[in-house]
Chain A
């Protein structure tokens, strides 16, 4: 008999607590982001595909075509090539492509880069109709960036 009434009161109280929680939620601002129309801020820790960093002092990347990233890459998705040019110290980078379809986002290339010119981009809207759509020319990307 005692449990009959105690169940009634504890049960009834739990119902009121539940109603309070949902009423509070009803007046809490919504958390949905209306995606194509508004976008949330990407955290700096986000590891997208790799990208060349544009340094402010030189106005471009600092790739010395050492090829460490290419050699370290477990998926063989980076191609770097360069040539010797008049008046430029070291090699001049002419090709830097990434086959993102093969990339496993391990980040070994970013770790090994001696000039810290490789970094993760915050690009997440990646979709394509063919494998070729994921062949990124990173040199072109760094020039197009403002």
Chain B
């Protein structure tokens, strides 16, 4: 009983964090689903969703209800356990990285010493989910999408990690809170612009979004790895994708945009979350913006760009950073 009372505060903390994580995941999917379609519309000089509610505000609610009501079709020759496991595997791990993201000085689930490694590890499970889903669908398009996704994610994880490593050498810590705190005079985007650019590009590729959306390239692979998915299993993939976008943008914010730092507000330990979310959603806006600007890359272009440009540049950047850190 004494043990119970001693761990009770921690238990409550875990429950609250999980609830907040769920709110962030679903709220973010609602906001981004609507914002993405609206922005896509306005970039093409059309209004986007307009019919359901004022300016189509309830469109996402209606879409969600529709997806929930739809039948889950499992293809006859599909590997059923794998087929059903994949969407869950794509969606479930997104809650864990949210625990270590420092939304403000005090709004953070757990400040782990290896926070960034935790995020990398759990973000990589998404690739596994895509591979399982593509393989389990027993469909050539799905399988091609899955193979592309694995090749792309493995390639782009390297420059992403190396560019982040430059920051980690400067702060000497994997803890996201310490990295954010180390940028009190100047944000790292000023000191490390090359690393920031490489991180942004790899970030787009890691989240499988246009112009690097080859795993789902609709004109070549119908819908890639989620061709065979319908209803709720499809929406779990979409929820996972938006949550991953949120996580990776949060990491970029912590690494390069100073975390929750900004113009001081009252109760800044908590209200810093306003600045944090503003930066995250600016990056999300940027992702949507480039999605509707650039055409999809060809696969060889994608790989060439990574191996010939991103990795050498990030390596040189890392080398210069290490030398500078040693000298200064």
Chain A residues proximal to chain B, CB less than 8 Å: 4, 8, 15, 18-19, 21-23, 25-26, 28-32, 34
Contact A22 B46 (CB under 8 A): no
Does B43 reach chain A (CB closer than 8 Å)? yes
What distance in Å separates the Cβ of A27 from its nearest Cβ neighbour in chain B? 8
From known contacts A15-B294, A18-B294, A21-B293, infer whether A32 and B43 are also in contact, taking CB-CB under 8 Å: no
Size category of the binding interface on chain B: 10 to 19
Contact B42 A30 (CB under 8 A): yes
A29: chain B residues within 8 A (beta carbon): 45
Cβ-defined partner of B41 (8 Å) among A4, A8, A30: A30
Does B191 reach chain A (CB closer than 8 Å)? no
Between-chain CB contacts (< 8 Å), 26 pairs: A4-B308, A18-B293, A19-B289, A19-B293, A21-B293, A22-B43, A22-B292, A22-B293, A25-B42, A25-B43, A25-B45, A26-B39, A26-B42, A26-B43, A28-B45, A29-B45, A30-B42, A30-B45, A30-B46, A30-B47, A31-B45, A31-B46, A32-B45, A32-B46, A34-B47, A34-B50
What distance in Å separates the Cβ of B197 from its nearest Cβ neighbour in chain A? 9
> Measured between alpha carbons, how far is A79 from B44 in the docked complex, in Å?
48
Closest to B293 in A: A22
Contact B45 A19 (CB under 8 A): no
Does B16 reach chain A (CB closer than 8 Å)? no
Contact B293 A32 (CB under 8 A): no
Most buried by A among B47, B50, B293, B308: B293
Contact B290 A19 (CB under 8 A): yes
Does B169 reach chain A (CB closer than 8 Å)? no
Known: A29-B45, A30-B47, A32-B45. 7 other contacts (CB 8 A): A8-B309, A18-B294, A19-B293, A22-B292, A25-B42, A25-B45, A32-B46
Chain B residues proximal to chain A, CB less than 8 Å: 39, 41-47, 50, 289-290, 292-294, 308-309
> Measured between alpha carbons, how far is A26 from B288 in the docked complex, in Å?
12
> Measured between alpha carbons, how far is A57 from B44 in the docked complex, in Å?
49
> Measured between alpha carbons, how far is A34 from B45 in the docked complex, in Å?
13
> Measured between alpha carbons, how far is A128 from B256 in the docked complex, in Å?
62
> Measured between alpha carbons, how far is A32 from B45 in the docked complex, in Å?
7
> Measured between alpha carbons, how far is A25 from B42 in the docked complex, in Å?
7
> Measured between alpha carbons, how far is A28 from B43 in the docked complex, in Å?
8
From known contacts A19-B290, A19-B293, A34-B50, infer whether A25 and B309 are also in contact, taking CB-CB under 8 Å: no
> Measured between alpha carbons, how far is A19 from B286 in the docked complex, in Å?
10
What distance in Å separates the Cβ of B41 from its nearest Cβ neighbour in chain A? 7
What distance in Å separates the Cβ of B279 from its nearest Cβ neighbour in chain A? 19
What distance in Å separates the Cβ of A85 from its nearest Cβ neighbour in chain B? 55
What distance in Å separates the Cβ of B34 from its nearest Cβ neighbour in chain A? 16
From known contacts A8-B309, A15-B294, A34-B50, infer whether A22 and B45 are also in contact, taking CB-CB under 8 Å: no
> Measured between alpha carbons, how far is A2 from B44 in the docked complex, in Å?
37
